[in-house]
Homo-oligomer: A and B are copies of this chain.
Amino acid sequence: MILLFESGVDESVVRDVTLRLQAAGLRALRGPEPRRAALVVPEGLPPELAAELEAEPTLTLVQPHEPWRLVHRALRDAPSVVRIGGPRGVAIGGGSVAVIAGPCSVEGRQAVLEAAHHAREAGAQLLRGGAFKPRTSPYAFRGYGVEGLAQLKAAGVATGMPVVSEIMDASDLPAFVDHDIDCLQIGARNMQNFTLLAAVAGAERPVLLKRGLAATVEEWLLAAEHLAAAGCSQIVLCERGIRTFETATRNTLDLTVLPLLHEWTHLPVVVDPSHAAGIARIIPPLARASITAGADGLALEMHLRPEVARSDAAQALLPGELARIMADVRVLVALDGRRLSPAASPACSAPPR
């Protein structure tokens, strides 16, 4: 059950209702909308209490058909805007479109710095790079770990780009916080790793939640609800292709659910066409189509020399390709009245030579 208060209701009213719910042995989770208080009661209300509360003039009771609550569209007047890199960081959602670009894996201090400069120059606002890599085979390259986080962050600082990196285990969280990784990515394989979700929710920084390979939209939004129920208020969803019978492409990008997501949740949604396609040369049209379908951003793999990349080489874009995608995206978002987010801060060092 969702309890929506009238806009501008006095905070004491909310507190009072909260106490009544708690007195009845119920949880009351505070919604994320700053302009209008809302409470979520996961267990639902007993009939008498429901009747009582319905009589409150400042209160509306909403029982959504869908099983998610805190991430439900009904909880907010307007879509959420998530800022990555602090209060003046890069905005995603609510009409602001941002692009996350960078190498699949961080592969050395100089390499990631160069990649960052090219990504920034091409127009991307956020830098990605994997330091901890989930790999199907135990014998594949698994990333540089903490050292990779340091290299990624240094490159982000040098280019004025907040950084995004995948976290695979709660025990690595202190390292992500120490290196001030601006956005914690939950990979597709970990979408339902509920202990990891609870851990990152406590880190007070944005989380990028990738959709599991065979996760329904319902399971995905309930994974986001796990984050929200554990206190995370800055969640970005990331569609990255689902597993189907078709083997011509690595996965099948599910753009069909994109417009539905905007009805079902206030969370912003970015699309990662790189992992869906698995083939670099077909990524540009898919990136454009994702924006046209309503994506609030893109996540793109870029590499200066894909032929030597240590992972996902086949799907890495060249910087020039990224720049062309950015130019297209700039036009497409203008067409529907949105805008590319400005960069978080000016680049603070010259590109490496």
Interface residues in A199-223 by Cβ distance below 8 A to B read 212-214, 216-219, 222
Interface residues in A150-204 by Cβ distance below 8 A to B read 168-171, 189-190, 192-196
Cα-based distance from A176 to B299 in the complex (angstroms): 39
Q: Does A252 contact B (CB under 8 A)?
A: yes
Instruction: Provide the residues of chain B in CB contact with A135, threshold 8 Å.
Output: 194
The smallest C-beta distance from A165 to any residue of chain B, in angstroms, reads 15
Instruction: Provide the residues of chain B in CB contact with A196, threshold 8 Å.
Output: 169
Q: Does A96 contact B (CB under 8 A)?
A: no
A256 contacts B245, CB within 8 Å?
A: no
Q: Does A255 contact B (CB under 8 A)?
A: yes
B289 contacts A276, CB within 8 Å?
A: no
Selected interface stretch from A110-118, A121-129, A257-265, A306-314: A257-265
- Please give the count of copies of this chain that the complex contains: 4
The smallest C-beta distance from A45 to any residue of chain B, in angstroms, reads 14
- Give the total of A residues in contact with B, Cβ under 8 Å: 70
A138 contacts B230, CB within 8 Å?
A: yes
Taking CB as reference atom, which chain B residue is nearest A279? B260
Given contacts A137-B222, A189-B192, A256-B252, contact A216 B285 (CB under 8 A): no
- The interface bits of chain A over 297-325 (1 if a CB of B lies within 8 angstroms of the residue's CB, else 0) are 00000000000000000000000000000
B248 contacts A252, CB within 8 Å?
A: no
Q: Does A225 contact B (CB under 8 A)?
A: yes
Q: Which of the residues B69, B226, B246, B288 comes within 8 Å of A217, measured between beta carbons?
A: B246
- List, sorted by A's number, 19 A–B pairs whose CB atoms are closer than 8 Å: A42-B139, A135-B194, A136-B218, A138-B222, A138-B229, A139-B229, A169-B170, A190-B193, A242-B245, A244-B254, A245-B245, A251-B256, A256-B276, A256-B282, A256-B286, A259-B285, A260-B279, A289-B293, A332-B335
* Additional 17 contacts, C-beta under 8 A, given A138-B222, A169-B196: A69-B139, A134-B192, A136-B218, A138-B225, A139-B229, A168-B195, A170-B171, A214-B214, A242-B252, A244-B252, A246-B256, A249-B256, A256-B276, A285-B292, A285-B293, A286-B293, A292-B332
